[in-house]
């Protein structure tokens, strides 16, 4: 496991003022915020940002959020899962309004990224809102006109919890070489074959790539989910250096 050799950043990452330009409701508990960030330097798919909120009395709270899309000028998108007793996410989903400022720092992270010139097949495995950085890779693939074979295995509780549902349906139909499979843990849609279950060997094996194709695997979700999937991939014969993970703790 070695990070890509790259220029070392020595200038401090600066906080930039961002303003909300658009809000999209993704699920009953998840929203995408489109922010305008003057001076934004661009990002690689899979990177994240720090968002910082400041109260009237100067109190500050910051959290990390994955970027949901590839670079798009000075616009960035984050998808926020509302954590009921959280300090930051309920503000972002319930109170934060169009035109309001917050501060953004980034992009951050040079490991859990996909580069559009990489031609190895890609397996994306997401649990819940862990799909967000994976969606950034799917969108970047489309934007770059890449033919790299992609497979997404997306584990959700119920059909209502699928983030980017319409777009994923459309892309699975239109983006050549992109397959999307779902695993439902609590309730499945009508007509879905099989019972709701937690992701297991059969899901990863039948919807993933065999190790001899030397795919790059990206796994993102809650800790238990990522531990399970990463162990399954290693058990199936994928070298550990080809399995990149990002775990979500409770971040509120």
The span of 7-15, 131-139, 169-177, 208-216 binding other proteins (CB under 8 A) equals 7-15
Could you say whether residue 111 binds other proteins (CB under 8 A)? Answer: yes
Rounded CA separation 221/153 (Å)? 12
> Is-contact 27 160, C-beta < 8 A?
yes
Q: Which of 36, 74, 175, 227 binds other proteins (CB under 8 A)?
A: 227
Rounded CA separation 135/167 (Å)? 10
Rounded CA separation 187/213 (Å)? 33
For 211, the token pair is: 């190790």
Could you say whether residue 102 binds other proteins (CB under 8 A)? Answer: yes
Could you say whether residue 54 binds other proteins (CB under 8 A)? Answer: yes
Could you say whether residue 3 binds other proteins (CB under 8 A)? Answer: yes
For 74, the token pair is: 């000075």
Residue 143 or 236 having the CB closest to other proteins = 236
Task: Tell me whether residue 237 is exposed, middle or buried, using C-beta atoms within 10 angstroms of its C-beta: 0 to 12, 13 to 18, 19 or more.
Answer: exposed
- Site for other proteins (CB under 8 A): how many residues? 56
Could you say whether residue 64 binds other proteins (CB under 8 A)? Answer: yes
Residue 60 or 176 having the CB closest to other proteins = 60
Could you say whether residue 118 binds other proteins (CB under 8 A)? Answer: no
Could you say whether residue 62 binds other proteins (CB under 8 A)? Answer: yes
- Taking CA atoms, 112 is separated from 109, 115, 142, in Å, by 7, 10, 19
Could you say whether residue 84 binds other proteins (CB under 8 A)? Answer: no
Could you say whether residue 28 binds other proteins (CB under 8 A)? Answer: no
Within the chain, what is the greatest distance between any pair of CA atoms?
57
The span of 29-37, 102-110, 127-135, 146-154 binding other proteins (CB under 8 A) equals 102-110
The span of 95-103, 117-125, 140-148, 205-213 binding other proteins (CB under 8 A) equals 95-103
- The closest alpha carbon to 113, from 23, 218, 237, 7, belongs to 218
Could you say whether residue 187 binds other proteins (CB under 8 A)? Answer: no
Mark residue 227 as left, alpha or beta (left: phi above 0; alpha: psi -120 to 50; beta: remaining). alpha
Residue 36 or 91 having the CB closest to other proteins = 91
Least Cβ distance, residue 63 to other proteins (angstroms): 6
């Amino acid at each position: 496991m070695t990070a890509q050799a790259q220029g070392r950043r020595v200038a401090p990452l600066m906080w930039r003022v961002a303003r909300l330009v658009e809000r999209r409701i993704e699920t009953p508990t998840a929203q995408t915020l489109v922010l305008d960030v003057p001076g934004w330097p661009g990002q690689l798919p899979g990177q994240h940002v720090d968002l910082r909120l400041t109260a009237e009395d100067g109190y500050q709270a910051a959290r990390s959020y994955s970027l949901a899309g590839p670079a798009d000028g000075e616009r960035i998108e984050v998808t926020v899962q509302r954590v009921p007793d959280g300090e930051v996410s309920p503000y972002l989903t319930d109170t934060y309004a169009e035109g309001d400022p917050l501060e953004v720092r980034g992009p951050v992270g040079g490991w859990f990224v996909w580069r559009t010139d990489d031609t190895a097949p890609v397996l994306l495995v997401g649990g819940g809102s862990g799909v967000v950085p994976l969606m950034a890779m799917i969108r970047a693939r489309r934007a770059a006109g890449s033919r790299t074979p992609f497979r997404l295995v997306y584990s959700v509780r119920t059909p209502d919890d699928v983030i980017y549902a319409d777009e994923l349906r459309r892309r699975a139909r239109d983006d050549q070489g992109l397959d999307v499979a779902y695993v439902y843990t609590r309730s499945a849609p009508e007509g879905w074959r099989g019972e709701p279950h937690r992701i297991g060997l059969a899901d990863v094996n039948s919807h993933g790539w065999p190790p001899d194709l030397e795919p790059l695997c990206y796994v993102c979700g809650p800790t238990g989910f990522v531990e399970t999937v990463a162990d399954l991939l290693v058990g199936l014969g994928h070298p550990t250096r080809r399995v990149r993970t990002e775990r979500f703790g409770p971040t509120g």
